[in-house]
Amino acid sequence: LRRQTLAQLLQEAIDMRIDHYPTEEIAGWKVRPGRVIPYGPTLVPGGVNFSIFSSVATACSLLLFDKDSGEALAEIPMPASFRIGDVWAITVFELDPERITYGFRIEGPNDPVAGHRCLPETILLDPRARAITGRDRWGETPDHSDPYPYRALVVPEDFDWRGDRAPDLAACDLVIYEMHVRGFTRHSSSSAKHAGTYAGLVEKIPHLLELGINCVELLPVFEFDEFELSRPNPVTGSLNMNYWGYSTVGFFAPKAGYAATGSAGMQCDEFKTMVRALHAAGIEVILDVVFNHTCEGDHRGPSISFRGLDNKTYYMLTPEGYYYNFSGCGNSLNCNNPVVRSMVI
| pLDDT confidence of residue 3 | 58
> Mean pLDDT over residues 2-26, rounded?
72
pLDDT score of 71 more than 90: yes
Q: Can you tell me the distance from the alpha carbon of 48 to that of 237, in angstroms, rounded to the nearest whole number?
A: 47
Greater confidence (18 vs 223) lies with 223
Q: Can you tell me the distance from the alpha carbon of 130 to that of 41, in angstroms, rounded to the nearest whole number?
A: 8
Q: Where are the alpha helices (DSSP H) in 97-251?
A: 181-185, 198-203, 205-211
Q: Which of 95-99, 165-169, 212-216, 321-325 has the lowest mean pLDDT?
A: 95-99
Side chain identity, residue 247 = S
Side chain identity, residue 296 = E
pLDDT score of 4 more than 90: no
Confidence bin at 327 (pLDDT 50/70/90): confident
3-state secondary structure of 144: coil
- Mean pLDDT value across the chain: 94
Q: What angle do CA 103, 107, 109 make, to 5 degrees?
A: 135
**Secondary structure element (H or E) that encloses residue 275, with its range:** helix 267-280
Question: Is residue 200 within 8 Å of 192, Cβ to Cβ?
Answer: yes
Give 333-341's long-range contacts (Cβ < 8 A, gap of 24+).
333/291, 333/292, 333/293, 333/294, 335/291, 337/313, 339/53, 339/313, 339/314, 340/313, 340/314
Give per-residue burial for 177-186: e unless 16+ CB within 10 Å, then b: bebbbbebbb
pLDDT score of 2 more than 70: no
| pLDDT confidence of residue 222 | 97
223-233 per-position pLDDT tens digit: 999 999 899 99
Number of neighbouring beta carbons within 10 Å of residue 339: 16
Q: Which residues contact 215 (CB under 8 A, 6 or more apart)?
A: 169, 174, 175, 176, 177, 283, 284, 285, 286
> Mean pLDDT over residues 93-104, rounded?
95
| pLDDT confidence of residue 15 | 59
| pLDDT confidence of residue 146 | 87
| Parallel, antiparallel or unpaired: strands 59-66 and 87-93 | unpaired
